[in-house]
Structure formats: structure tokens, C-alpha cells
Structure 1
Amino acid sequence: MSSSNSTTGTGTGRRIVVLGAGYAGLTAAKGAARHRSVTLVAPEERLLHRIRQHETAAGRGRDWPAIEELARGRRIRHHRARAVDLDLAGHKVALDDGTTLGYDTLVYALGSRTAWHDVPGAVEHAHPVEHADDVRRLIREADRPGTLAVVGGGATGIELATELAEAHPAWRVRIVSAGQVGGIYSPKGRAHIRRVLDRLGVDVHEDATVTEVTPDGLRTTAGPITADLTVWAASMEPHPLAARAGLAVDDRGRALVDDHLRSVSHPDVHVVGDAAAVTVPGIGTLRMGCATALPRGQYVGKLLDGRTTEPFSFRYVVHCLSLGRRDGLLQLVHPDDSMKPTVLTGAAGRLAKAAIVGVVFSSLK
């Protein structure tokens, strides 16, 4: 196993390694690399634009920029490999290409992945939302239009179901939720989501917890649901490496951090994105997602670059949903993420969502 222990800092002797090139990791690396050298570890060649995976699944996505292109103008070395082990005492990261990287400061941004919840047959017969390219291919290669079930009644599941139903009207699309579809939104927001699902011909199965996935559909607490293709968008869980390596974590496996997003057990490790359990006074523990990942990555980038010493702060403003290409929902929220009654729907909601996605993408350039 080779070892890389050279100093990469700019006259500081500080080696900064960032694990993960999602929204949080990439923005942290770019922020820190304004005046320092950073090693960014991620196996992907291109940005995984997760908030647009529903478009990819429907065949409407496109190739996103290469990570090296997004890192242009910064002192970032993109090491295309996957982190497999952390030696927190020795300040080393083992990679799947046999390399070991030494660090003085580590930014852990490995994010989240599909949570299967030990549902029998789910891994074998369902396709996680991260594999949107596979969903697109399977639809394209199918002998004939069939029935497609989207498991998950949250934002990801709703965006997938509406996008797929609109793009492939010959397919029968179903959305299956353990609770109410769009249950977190205000009554006005939920009503609009339901109208769009009805307009697009999506079958809605609520209060139907999936107990098994089979080759021909689902078994649920509300009865069987047939499906030729099942896409799993039920929930996400943090990458397990943090807990396995010995970082202090909460009961969900998210790393516990202080008000500067440093691990409470290993302060030379900053944790950002879905991997971190961040509690903001007066707001609570932040939810997973782009809306919280991007600001956390930006904050740590500024912190490591010396452009801030203030504690991390955050306030929620909106939730936004794509509901196909012609419709959308912008749900205003209080700073603690509780719902306000005000929503924008239809073309206005769609344009607002598109503008927010555009801001996210621009911030990564």
C-alpha cells in the first residue's frame, strides 16, 4: 500500500483532504482551496446532481460537468478513488486504489445513500434513486410499457412519480407511501400535489408500508401492489464509514459536531452535508438535503480559508418541488422548517424551483 504524506498547505504545513464531491464536499473544497491546496477524494468523474435525478430517470437529464472542470481555478487535486477506512489516530485515509493519504484537517462529506430498512427483496428487486441512469435504461429497453412503482411519498418520490408519469404516459405509474403523500407540506401544498398526481394519472397508495419487494411488485400492509419496475425513494441513511471509524455519531449514524461543524470526538475532522447531525439553536437538528448541505459546505470552506471564525448559523426559507416540466410547488416555511400557509403552484412554482436549482448549480461553478 502506497502512502502520500506530503504537505499540501500554503506555507501552513496543513494538509487538507476532503472526502466526497457532492454539494457539501465540493463547495467546502472550493472554498478552502482559494489560498490552500486541497485533495478532493471522490470516485466520480462528473458531478452527481442529485436534486435533478428525477429528470435523469425520466430520460430528460444531461451529462453534468466534470469535477475537474468545476474545480478549475482552485488548488484542488481530484483523486478518483473511494475512501474505505479512516485511521483517526494516525490521521490517514485508506482508499480503494491502495493509496493512503495523510491529513492534518479532514472534511468528511460522504453524504447519504438509500436506506433499505431490511425490507426483504428490496436490494434485489428495487432500484435506488441514485441509480437513475439504470431506471432510464430499463424503461427504454422494456419490450412494452408496463407498471412502475415509486416507493416513497416524500419530495424525492413525488418528483420521480410526476416526472416519470409525464415523460412516459404509456406507463402506469404508482406512488406508494407509508404515510400521507407529501405529508410534511401545508394543506394547500398537499392538495396541489394530489391534483397534479391525479392529472398525470398516478395511482396513489397511502398508509401502505412495504413489507417485501418481489420481481412482480410489492407486498404492503394495505395489500399487494403489482409493478414491473420498482424505484426506491423511501428514505436515506448516512454513509456508515463515520461510525465504523470511531467518530461520535447519533442514533442514525450521523456524526455529532460542534457549532463550527467539527466532530465532537475528533476536532481535526469537519463533517458536512447529510453525514452530519447539526443542531442550530432555535432551529433544531437540520434535515438531510441540498438545502442544508450546500450552506454547510460553504461555511467550512470559508472557515478553513480563514474568512470566518463565527459559529455556523442557518435558517430555513422554502421547500420546492418539481411536478413534471409544467408544474411545481414552492412552499414557504418558518425559520425552523415548520410550514407557512403560503404556496406558489403551477408555472410560478415551477419557475421558482428552476431558479433555485439554477442558483445551486451556479454556486458549484
Structure 2
Amino acid sequence: MPKNLRREPRVYELTEAERRCPQCGETRAQISAERSEQLDYVPATLFVVEHVRCTYACPHCEGQVVTAGKPAQPIPKGLPGPGLLAHVITEKYADHIPLHRQERRLARQGVELSRSTLCDWMAGAAQSLEPLYDLMKTLVLLCGTIHTDDTSVKLRDSERKIKALARLWIYFGDHLYPYNVFDFTRSHKRDGPSLFLKGFRGYLQADAFSGYDGIYAGGNVVEVGCNAHARRKFVEAQKTDLTRASTALAYYRQLYAIEKQIKAELAKLPEDANEPTRAAIRLRVRQERAVPVWESLEKWLKEERPQVLPKSPMGGAIGYMKNHWEALKRYTSSGYLSIDNNVAEQHMKTIATGRKTGFSLGVRPAGRPWPCCSA
């Protein structure tokens, strides 16, 4: 059991009658105790905080009256305390429990709160968290590498009774500031990432979305491809071209095995080893072991490309690799880069989980609570 959990001892003893020896009648003495642990749970409890602000007046001077201040609250003049607000935010954005289900949970505890009230709380919380969100965004833009990905999400307008698809984007920093900062846009146009990444200089690891091309064209941002994305195309091609797909996947097994070897080598370092030391090891191993694999893979792709139909699954997989070759192998030239973009894609999977529970965004206030409360 985790050592940080509170322990609640429950000692079971024999009664005086049970302690008596059946042979001689003497009282038996305790010689040891058997211990075991059991995990239990106490449901969350609501309580009311009564804020009492004392007022003082000078008995001799007229008008010298002063009232004690109250600590700043997450939502000024709002009903929820910080603990309840944090609980609702966590359940909605981390555990993907919709507000209508939270509404029913609260009702079971005797507190009637409408879903619209909970929505207003999310908007108020986002407003309070916005300075922290802006700081995290600023720090992520100072990183040398940013991982990004996006996914669709339903956008609803209850007044106009329409629904549309909007986008949620994640921008994940590197070892300097490993924060995940989200952004919301109403469309999948390139304006979203272009505006968010304005002023950024460094590596951007993403899929091959054409909306990033304008960012790379400026020269300040260098494209790093996602090999997990490229590999999946060969997995899909197994259905129609098993032999070639198996060969390509064998190359990828070698490349990912090298990354696993690097992790094992890094695990031997002292815990206080700095990132430049770790990056130097990654670069050395990749240059020694991964680059030759990439050279063999490139030769194989050149041989096979003329023999497959361009519009077939295998032709698409090979074409994808050839079109993004430099970006896909760029990680071998730096120990600070990753072989794939899985760190961002895994965060996006939480959105997919939320979609299964009917997750959507309201038009007002334009999806702002989601990025601020999820970061």
C-alpha cells in the first residue's frame, strides 16, 4: 500500500473470558500480533464554510470603523470554495465526467445545482486561471522543442440549435518546461497554430498537417516528423501487401529497439545527471546505430517505390516516407529530439475518451475554459 496514505489502526483483542486458559484458568498474556492491510474509501463530503468578517469601531472617534477582509476567492462572490471547484474541474477535464452526471451526484448529497450553474463555474475558474495559463504558454514557447497535435471536438450553440466541429490543440514543452498547454480554434485552418506559435524558434514535432508548412517556411521553426505516424501506414498496408509491409515494420522494430537501448543506458546514469549529458548519449547511439538503419531503409524504399501503385496503401506509406524523409530522420541529428510525437498524441487520447461521454464545447465563452482548466 502507498506509504503516504493515512493509516487507521483497528486492534482486535480477546475478551477477559476468551483470554482465560481452558486448562488451568490462568489469564493468557499477549505474545504477538498478526498485521494485515486493507484499502478502504470514504466518499467525498460537502460542507459549508461560514465566512465571518468581524467589524471594529473606535469607542472615542466617530467614523473609525473597519471590517476584517476575506481571503481572495477563486470566483469573486461565487458559491464554490476552492476545494469544490477543483473537484468539479478534475472530474470534468481529467476524469471526463460530464457536468450533468456531476449534477446528479451533488443532488444525491442533497445539493441542488443546475448544469448551467456548473458551466458558469467553469467559465469563472478559467478566468481565474488565465494568468497561470498565459505564463505556461510563455514558458513553453521558450523551449527548444515543442510537440503538437490536434483533434476535433463538437461545438454546440444551444440558442441557434446548431452543432459544428471545432479543434483542440496541444503544445507540449521539452525538458526545460514540460507543460501541456491547450488551445481552442473554431476551425482546422493554419491560423490557429500560426498565431499560437508566433515568436517561437526551435523544433516543432508534429504530424504532416499542411497547416504547419507556413510555419516551417519562415525559417525559425524546424520540422520534426512522427515515426509512429509513418509506421502506422505500413501497419495498415499489411492487409494488401504483407511482404513489403513486414519488411518496413522490421526496419522500424530496429529503430525502436535502439531507442529502448538508449533508455536502458540512460537509466544507469546518476539521478542528478543533467539533460545535456543525456542528450549527448542519445545523439552518439543514434549516430552509431540508427543512422545505418535509416540508410538501409532509404535504399529499400527506392527499390520498392517503382513497383507499387502510388494510390495503394503501400504506395501511400512509401510516398509518405519519401515526402517527409528529412523530417522523419531528423531526430537522429539531435539528442534532444524524439523518434515520434507520442507524448502529444497520448494527451490527445484523453479528448477521445471524453468524446465517448458526450463531451462538447459551448460557443460561449468560445471554449476558453477547456484550455485554461486542462493545462
* TM-score range normalised by the length of the shorter chain: under 0.3
> Normalized per residue, which structure has more helix?
2
> Normalized per residue, which structure has more strand?
1
Q: TM-score, normalization: structure 1? A: 0.23
Q: TM-score, normalization: structure 2? A: 0.23
